[in-house]
Amino acid sequence: MDSNKEHKKTIKGINPAFTKGSKLQKKQPLDITILANDIIAGNHTALSKGITLVESTVLKHQEQAQLLIEKCLAHANASIRIGITGVPGVGKSTFIESFGSYLTGIGKKVAVLAVDPSSSLSHGSILGDKTRMSELSQDKNAFIRPSASGDSLGGVARKTREAIILCEAAGFDTIIIETVGVGQSETVVHSMVDFFLLLKLAGAGDELQGIKRGIIEMADTIVINKADGKNERPARLAKTAFAKALHLYPPKDSSWTPKVSTCSALEHKGISEIWKDILSYKTLTQENGYFISKRHEQNTYWLLQTIENSLKENFYRDPVVKERLPILLEQLSKNTISPFIAARELLALRKNDH
């Protein structure tokens, strides 16, 4: 640690890229070894810069980012990764602020990242503004980063997943990944976290209506937020309804029985109980081997996913494919061609093209 600090002191003067916030300076060459060491030493500015590198679409930056991740990898992984989802209005920011502050209060280092596929369109619909979590954003043991933007959910997801590695290398032991629940974002977040938390509000009657398909099955815990004031009773009723519903689902591979609880993020009630549940989950799955096997599976999934996305992108980007595909889709909709014949034609076109 001392040598790291020393190192930082020395380079501060000679590496201006380091001192100028998280923006990547065009003129000064970025020393990836120095940046990696600074991240590993826990420097937040360096971490921000690293994530900016990971998110950059510039080819050179992408190469540097891979080098950076390689250097950080050995220092990552000693963490719990928690996914948090819920519809807009459920109070995700307030919950994360309350939950995160509780965690830093008990000595945890908390990084908050987000997967928001809509943010590239709406210029940041979640976590775009740190004032949303004003307390946590000023906490020295917390690090909040808005969602990466990108032209595909896969792209946003890749960047978030690489950002996780950097955060872990920087010493953050609790990684919270927020999702807005647009499109397939929950599935993507689920595939990069250890524990998945679904935030809900008490409503009247059919509690499960309006929840996207499959979300309930992903949840390791369901937390009914805003259980305060006159909402307390409806929240308790909702808790019972969800507990019954969960009972209908098949057991999870993790052997974990999903929990349902109520909380008031506003009044900081029920927060410590949620953390206790997460710790119980961690203990159980570390003992039965699920925790580590799930991370391995996720890694393999991401390897194959990255390859397949790249193969598809290259294929559909091909000018001959671009020209022919809409014509075949038109024929397909008129039922004058079978999907298999159309596919064969496109594949053959591409082959001849190369």
CB 193 within 8 A of CB 220: no
CB atoms < 10 A from the CB of 353, how many? 10
Of 67, 43, 34, nearest to 53 by C-alpha is 67
Could you say which of 6, 267, 315, 327 contacts its own copies (CB under 8 A)? 315
Does 330 bind its own copies (CB under 8 A)? Our answer is no
CA dist 171 and 111 (Å) reads: 10
Q: Which is nearer to its own copies, 237 or 245 (CB)?
A: 245
Does 312 bind its own copies (CB under 8 A)? Our answer is yes
* Number of alpha helices (DSSP H) and beta strands (DSSP E) in the chain: 16, 7
Tokens, residue 263? 């909380």
CB of 112 to its own copies, least distance (A): 21
CB 180 within 8 A of CB 199: no
Could you say which of 70, 135, 151, 353 contacts its own copies (CB under 8 A)? 70
CB of 341 to its own copies, least distance (A): 5
Could you say which of 106, 204, 319, 333 contacts its own copies (CB under 8 A)? 333
Q: Among the candidate windows 112-120, 148-156, 195-203, 337-345, which touches its own copies by CB under 8 A?
A: 337-345
Contacts (CB under 8 A) with its own copies, residues 199-228: 206, 208-214, 217
Could you say which of 28, 152, 240, 310 contacts its own copies (CB under 8 A)? 310
Q: Residue 343: which H helix or E strand, with range? A: helix 339-353
CB of 135 to its own copies, least distance (A): 33
Q: Which is nearer to its own copies, 160 or 185 (CB)?
A: 160
Helices 319-333 and 339-353, packing angle to 10 deg: 170
CB 261 within 8 A of CB 221: yes
Does 74 bind its own copies (CB under 8 A)? Our answer is yes
Q: Which is nearer to its own copies, 138 or 338 (CB)?
A: 338
Could you say which of 81, 109, 145, 158 contacts its own copies (CB under 8 A)? 158
Of 15, 55, 19, nearest to 32 by C-alpha is 15
Q: Among the candidate windows 3-11, 45-53, 172-180, 306-314, which touches its own copies by CB under 8 A?
A: 306-314
CA dist 38 and 251 (Å) reads: 44
Contacts (CB under 8 A) with its own copies, residues 229-248: 245, 247-248
Contacts (CB under 8 A) with its own copies, residues 164-193: 165
The CA angle 42-43-48, to the nearest 5 degrees, is 115
CB atoms < 10 A from the CB of 274, how many? 21
DSSP per residue, 303-330: HHHHHHHHHHHHHHHSHHHHHHHHHHHH
CA dist 260 and 239 (Å) reads: 6
Does 69 bind its own copies (CB under 8 A)? Our answer is yes
Does 332 bind its own copies (CB under 8 A)? Our answer is yes
CA 157 distance to own-chain centroid:
7
Question: By rule CB under 8 A, what string of x and - marks binding of each residue 264-303 to its own copies?
Answer: --------------------------------x--xxxxx
Q: Which is nearer to its own copies, 77 or 255 (CB)?
A: 77
Q: Which is nearer to its own copies, 333 or 352 (CB)?
A: 333
* Contact set with its own copies (CB under 8 A): 66, 69-70, 73-74, 76-77, 158, 161-162, 165, 206, 208-214, 217, 245, 247-250, 296, 299-304, 306-308, 310-312, 315, 328-329, 332-333, 335-344, 346-347, 354
